Amino acid sequence: MTMTNIHQPGERTVHHDAPRLYTLDEAGQVLRVSKWTVQRLIQRELLGSVKVGVRTLVSAEDIARYVAEQRTGRVRGGFHG
């Protein structure tokens, strides 16, 4: 009998099929900007976000979409995801 899903205390469970969510700090590191810039992008609806409890998180998909829009020079004016 093999035991699966045994975790040590404090160890995080990783769900490989779940979307990757970044904190504002982490999203800023990915984009190489401050977390305050990430917050402004979210407020201006240029970058999508998700609220989980009191935390604001940004998905890897939203970051990729924002970068692609900047690269292609798409018209700004709101998040349409």
Each residue of 24-35: pLDDT tens digit? 999 999 999 999
Please give the pLDDT value at position 6.
Answer: 52
Contact 48, 62 (CB under 8 A): yes
Single out the residue of 27, 55, 53 nearest to residue 41, CA to CA.
27
Pairwise CA distance, residues 39 & 37, whole Å:
5
Please give the pLDDT value at position 72.
Answer: 77
Please give the pLDDT value at position 5.
Answer: 52
For the chain, which ranges sit under pLDDT 70? 1-15, 73-81
When computed from its CA atoms, the radius of gyration of the chain, rounded to whole angstroms, is 16
- Going across the sheet that includes 21-22, the strands are 21-22, 55-59, 50-52
